[in-house]
Structures are given as C-alpha cells and as structure tokens.
Amino acid sequence: MVSDTANLHVEIFSAYLNSRFGKRYITSYINWFVHTNEALAIAAVDDERRIVGYALGVSSKHGYKMHRALRWVVVSSLIIRPWILCDKRFWQEARSRIEPLARPVKTCDQHNLPQPSIALVTIGVHPAYRRERVGLHLMEAFEQMATSCKTQSLYAWVFEDNVSARQLYEKCGWQPYTNSLSTRGSLKYFKLLD
Ligand SMILES: CC(C)(COP(=O)(O)OP(=O)(O)OC[C@H]1O[C@@H](n2cnc3c(N)ncnc32)[C@H](O)[C@@H]1OP(=O)(O)O)[C@@H](O)C(=O)NCCC(=O)NCCS
C-alpha cells in the first residue's frame, strides 16, 4: 500500500520538489507518516482496493522529526540526482529550515492556534477519481482522527493558485489566515476543533 501511495504521490505531485528526490525518498517519506505515533496517514481505496487518494498529517511539534529521520535518504538522493541542487526551490527550502534556527520567525504556534495542533501536510486524489468527493471524505476522516487524538486545531499551507485545494478546505470549514502569504506563494489555512 505504501508503494502504491508513493506512485500516486509522484504522479500527482510530479512538479513538486519532493518528487524530484525519486521514488525511494517518497516511499520513505510516506512510510514515516504510516509508522510514526505523532503522524496521521489515511488512504482512500476503490472497490478493488486500489489507492485512489491519501492524506498525511503530523503534529505541529513533531514535523522536525520527519526531516531528521529522512536526512540520509535526502543525502543519498542528492548524490544520485545532483541536478536537484540546481533547483532554486531546493535552496529556498533549505533556507526556510535553517533560518528559524538562527532567528526565530513566526510559525504555526506563534499564530496562536490552540494546541495540540496537527498539520495537514499532503492530500491527493488520483486524477481519474476527482470531483467524486474522495477529497471531502479524506478531509472528514482526517478531522475525525485528529479529534480522536484530542487535537484542538488543524492547519495547512497551500499555494495561493491551488483553487481546487483551497475550495476543498473552505468547504470543510477551514479559513485562510490574513497576511499569511509566504515568499513561496503559499497561504496558511486553519480550522479550530471542538
Ligand atoms: C484538491 C483535491 C485533493 C480535491 O479532491 P477531489 O476528490 O477532487 O475533491 P472533492 O470531489 O471531494 O471536492 C470537494 C469540494 O472541493 C472543491 N473542489 C474540488 N476540486 C475542485 C476544482 N477543481 N475546482 C474548484 N473546486 C474544487 C469543491 O468545493 C468541491 O465541492 P463540490 O464538488 O460540491 O463543488 C484534488 O484536486 C487533488 O488531488 N489535487 C492535486 C493535489 C493537491 O493540490 N493537493 C493539495 C495540496 S497538498
């Protein structure tokens, strides 16, 4: 299932930086969510149990653990694919990880979201299954799982021009933070849970 989800992720997010790291990296990435207590991983399957969608999340306080756990896979992927170093998004990403160490900046917690809070890191639906409410069901399942872990709030970053994801979030009661547009062109959405 992890391997099928990794294939789907690479297909859906082929233009994204993390897919450029290759299937091995994406498989490790998804495995991390599946096997980590502080993370959520949900899959939607069709009648033949083929993966048609998935959602991944992590507690706001433990996201850094994923980067730490995957650092050697990142290094080995860079050795095999050194051209990633020419992708300016790689350096933007690296800077965004290093800068807070030197100069604390506003992050989720400083937006005063009630804690504990969970980040929706990724949600994707196979192109052939879109507009059939798979995304909506994944969002509902994600919220239910988060609520069962006594989570007080959810948040996600989404590119400003990603209309389908933004509409989906808003349909599920999420709201965008004003003035949250990042230098990478993404907006922060949140939802408070009861
Ligand atoms: C965003 C995504 C997960 C939506 O999945 P989906 O299964 O097609 O969504 P649903 O059928 O459940 O749609 C639920 C609601 O979302 C909104 N929505 C979904 N796709 C939309 C689109 N293309 N345009 C506008 N609104 C859209 C609508 O409000 C829709 O409700 P409606 O059908 O009653 O109008 C899917 O388009 C996708 O995988 N996109 C690529 C990956 C991505 O960008 N993920 C988000 C960033 S991590």
> Over 70: is that where the pLDDT of 37 sits?
yes
Tokens for 194? 């009861």
Cα–ligand 1 centroid distance for 64 (angstroms): 28
Q: Residue 79 C-alpha to ligand 1 middle, in angstroms?
A: 36
Number of domain units in the chain: 1
- Please tell me the distance between residue 132's alpha carbon and the centre of ligand 1 in angstroms: 9
Token pair, residue 15, equals 């233009």
pLDDT in tens, 94-124: 887 776 666 655 444 456 899 999 999 999 9
Q: What is the mean pLDDT of residues 18-44?
A: 92
pLDDT at 66 over 90: no
Report the atom number in ligand 1 closest to the C-alpha of 121.
48
Question: What's the average model confidence in pLDDT over 24-50?
Answer: 94
Give the global pTM: 0.89
Question: Is pLDDT at 173 greater than 80 in this prediction?
Answer: yes
**pLDDT on residue 109:** 47
Domain that holds residue 135: 2-192
pLDDT of residue 36: 93
Radius of gyration of the chain (CA): 16
Coil, strand, or helix at residue 47?
coil
CATH classification at residue 8: 3.40.630.30
- The bridge status of strand 153-159 relative to strand 117-125 is parallel
Mutate-to-test residue for ligand 1 from 161, 168, 170, 186, highest number of ligand atoms within 8 A of CB: 168
